[in-house]
Amino acid sequence: MKVAVIGLGEAGSHFANDLAELGVKVSGWDPELRYKLHPGVIFAGSNPEAVRNANIILSVNYASESKAIARELVPYLEASAVYCEMNTAAPSLKMAVEKILQPSNVRFVDVAIMAPVPQSGIKVPLLASGPGAQALAEISKPYHLNLNILSEVTGEAAENKLLRSIVFKGVSAVLGEAIAAGEKMGKQDYIRSQIKSILSCDEDMIDQFVKDTPLHAKRRKEEMEAVREMLKNKGLSYCMTSGTIKNLEQLLK
């Protein structure tokens, strides 16, 4: 059993380290490695080197890079391998990556990561759909992943993730704006009390919302742009999503 992790950022490094701890042979690559790796993780010299002879490939990057990475890897993938596209992206992008990979005959899986990875690592809740979803469930069974199989339809996991993102990222943007206004107006205690009464949350949760948004603004902006694309493709309104994107753009300036 060999797992290749393409993208060893915050999420990818946790996945690689946890799998190595479970005794899985793990290789990975990232052009800008910033996180410490488990001694059992093989840091390859490139993406193609990382996926050589891999049974499962976890692609954990920015969605904007996913198609280029798929094109790069097509000649090097094993025909029986399970390719997990884990980047948060619109269903149309997941389907585009699947199409790029078709000549390799890998089993494609649309995987959505449904909670922050640092807290749970490889046991984070995952949604999976697509033609390779059942194969992923079978091959990963010994490792007891928190994996929920939806269907064989590529894009369904992405849809569920992005619907949740409308709420989660929208709430984060509203809270950040409200807290900033409360502080500027000398009414910080008041606005926090209002947030707690409306959302039934405590101070720690409020602080987590406010702190995490600027830290992950680039990734969340891409995520919300994927939401907007999904809603636009379905002929639905996306005015609140556009507001969240604008909020994230301001945080990146």
User: Is the pLDDT score of 229 beyond 90?
Assistant: yes
pLDDT at 74: 97
Q: Between the CA of residue 97 and those of 6, 120, 129, 131, 154, what are the distances in Å? A: 14, 27, 14, 13, 10
Task: Quote the Cα angle for 174-177-179, to 5°.
Answer: 105
pLDDT at 228: 96
pLDDT at 62: 87
pLDDT at 210: 86
Q: Looking at residues 5-25, what average pLDDT do you find?
A: 97
Q: Which two tokens stand for residue 81?
A: 């391998």
Residues 193-222: tens digit of each pLDDT: 999 999 988 999 899 888 888 988 998 999
Residue-range domain boundaries for the chain: 2-154, 159-252
Q: Looking at residues 30-54, what average pLDDT do you find?
A: 96
pTM: 0.91
Q: Looking at residues 117-130, what average pLDDT do you find?
A: 96
Q: Looking at residues 51-64, what average pLDDT do you find?
A: 95
User: Is the pLDDT score of 41 beyond 90?
Assistant: yes
Residue range 2-154 forms a domain whose CATH class is alpha beta
* CA-based nearest residue to 112, from 166, 54, 158: 158
d(CA 233, CA 175): 28
pLDDT at 212: 87
Query: What is 159-252's CATH number?
Result: 1.10.1040.10
